[in-house]
Amino acid sequence: MSGTQVRRMIPVEEAMAQLMEMAEAAPIRERETVLLAAASGRVLADDLVATLDLPPWPNSAMDGYAVCLADWHGEPLTVSQRIFAGQAPEPLAPGTCARIFTGAPIPVGANCVEMQENAVVGEDQRVRFTEPLVTGQNIRPQGQETTVGDVVLEAGTRMGPIELGLAASLGRAELDVVRRVRVAVLSTGDELIEPGQTLGPGQIYNSNRVVLCNWLERLGCEVVDAGILPDNLEKTRSTLGNLGYVDLILSTGGVSVGEADFLGHALREEGELSLWKLAIKPGKPLTVGHYRNVPVIGLPGNPASTLVTFALLARPYLLRRQGVQDVVPLRFKVPAGFSWSRPGDRREYLRGRLEQGQAVYYSNQSSGVLRSAAWADGLIEIREGTTVALGDWLDFIPLSEVLG
């Protein structure tokens, strides 16, 4: 793909397949051992295999009384022991019951727990049951959750609170995880200045930098903020040359065939460069290449285009670099609360919401408008070449599925 410009429009699926192939060709192989609490957002390097049964022994699901049904014929029972959670019980003495509390181990010999609400303690302290008892009732069997040797989480799983809880329940205080992906964020555009500075003529504030740096952090990446690329080939070369240690250079704001395109020039000089025309709206131009041996992805610079291409293409690429298999966001079918009469040649992702169960979109869908995305709860997909009638079913991708 070196140096060529692909003229035809690339469908989203094809771009995705190529990016996945590129990601799998450059997996992050380094791993590190981290404390459980520090593993949030990280990717498991190995399968998490159960080294104990969960629960480790049958236990009571209720506060009540443990009984052996085989040697009980309805008579009131003496309480021979009290078993709190965290205690090791004695075997159940024949002809007695045990007072037992939720989570406590079932004593050997007992095969039923009756809840205290169905028990009456007489004046002689013996216990009578008011309902029929059934073998196994209110007992959580050993290994109900997990048995030794089960693969509880596969390598490549991203660790959220639930996954951390599973690892904790198996007694794991540390986990082996894949090294974070190091991503350098570069903005291009001589019109950009940073927030807090005074706007000069022709200047606008750089918003993509904070969007991408924050988003990458949420994805568990190590972010190298490489600032705004200077308007100068020599400085561009030197900035890129200093990024040899990162796993990806992520730029925004257009590599083009135009004049004053120093990033494109530098990439052609010491790397390779494809300019993809994606069949996606917003977000047509995507740059994919290498500088020396560092992969480069260049997202379009308009804020809504940056958002959509990052969410749908760069995010899966970064996750796959870490070995995550499940990189595609959930999508749901929703009825259109609008009609759409102009079939496009690109797949369109409207920034939209659900209102009264119907998908509606923000009035201004310009790629320069970020408010559309702040207003939105998700992306409404309109496939290329299609029109939409009110009530037609469309795919909706919740933003929550791609923001973390």
Q: State which of positions 145-204 bind a second copy (CB under 8 A).
A: 145-146, 152-153, 160-174, 189-192, 194-197, 199-204
Residue 161 Cβ vs a second copy, minimum distance, rounded to whole Å? 4
When the beta carbons of 26 and 213 are compared against a second copy, the nearer one is 213
Task: Check binding of 342 to a second copy (CB under 8 A).
Answer: no
CA–CA gap between residue 221 and residue 318 (Å, rounded)? 8
When the beta carbons of 294 and 359 are compared against a second copy, the nearer one is 359
End-to-end alpha carbon distance in the chain? 32
When the beta carbons of 199 and 390 are compared against a second copy, the nearer one is 199
Residue 140 Cβ vs a second copy, minimum distance, rounded to whole Å? 6
Helix (H, G, I), strand (E, B) or coil at 211: helix
Q: Identify the residue whose tokens are 């004049």.
A: 259
Residue of 49, 134, 374, 390 that binds a second copy (CB under 8 A): 374
CA–CA gap between residue 341 and residue 282 (Å, rounded)? 18
Residues 109-128 that bind a second copy (CB under 8 A): none
CA–CA gap between residue 66 and residue 106 (Å, rounded)? 7
Q: Are the CB atoms for 38 and 88 separated by under 8 Å? A: no
Q: For residue 190, what are its two tokens? A: 């001589």
Q: Are the CB atoms for 292 and 267 separated by under 8 Å? A: no
Residue 354, CA distances (Å) to 121, 135, 330, 359, 397 in order: 56, 49, 16, 5, 11
Residue of 76, 143, 230, 398 that binds a second copy (CB under 8 A): 398
DSSP string, 163-199: HHHHHHHTT-SEEEEEPPPEEEEEE--TTEE-TTSPP
Residue 306 Cβ vs a second copy, minimum distance, rounded to whole Å? 9
Residue 176 Cβ vs a second copy, minimum distance, rounded to whole Å? 15
When the beta carbons of 140 and 290 are compared against a second copy, the nearer one is 140
When the beta carbons of 31 and 172 are compared against a second copy, the nearer one is 172
Residue 272 Cβ vs a second copy, minimum distance, rounded to whole Å? 23
Residue 36 carries which DSSP code? G
Residue 258 Cβ vs a second copy, minimum distance, rounded to whole Å? 5
Task: Check binding of 385 to a second copy (CB under 8 A).
Answer: no
**Cα angle value 88/89/91 (rounded, 5°):** 140
Residues 16-45 that bind a second copy (CB under 8 A): 36-37, 40
Nearest Cα neighbor of 275 from 24, 8, 26 is 8
Residues 254-293 that bind a second copy (CB under 8 A): 254, 256, 258-260
When the beta carbons of 66 and 334 are compared against a second copy, the nearer one is 334
When the beta carbons of 38 and 133 are compared against a second copy, the nearer one is 38
Residue of 28, 98, 110, 215 that binds a second copy (CB under 8 A): 215
Quick note: the x/- pattern for a second copy over 77-116, rule CB under 8 A, is: -------xxxxxx-----------xxxxx-----------
Q: Are the CB atoms for 26 and 321 separated by under 8 Å? A: yes
When the beta carbons of 252 and 294 are compared against a second copy, the nearer one is 252
Q: From its phi and psi, is residue 102 left (phi > 0), alpha (psi between -120 and 50) or beta?
A: beta
When the beta carbons of 25 and 162 are compared against a second copy, the nearer one is 162
Residue type, 256: S
Residue of 52, 134, 389, 390 that binds a second copy (CB under 8 A): 52
Task: Check binding of 360 to a second copy (CB under 8 A).
Answer: no
Helix crossing, 233-241 with 262-270: angle to 10°?
Answer: 60
Residue 326 Cβ vs a second copy, minimum distance, rounded to whole Å? 9
Residue 295 Cβ vs a second copy, minimum distance, rounded to whole Å? 22
How many residues belong to the site for a second copy (CB under 8 A)? 101
CA–CA gap between residue 266 and residue 263 (Å, rounded)? 5
Q: Identify the residue whose tokens are 């009732």.
A: 137
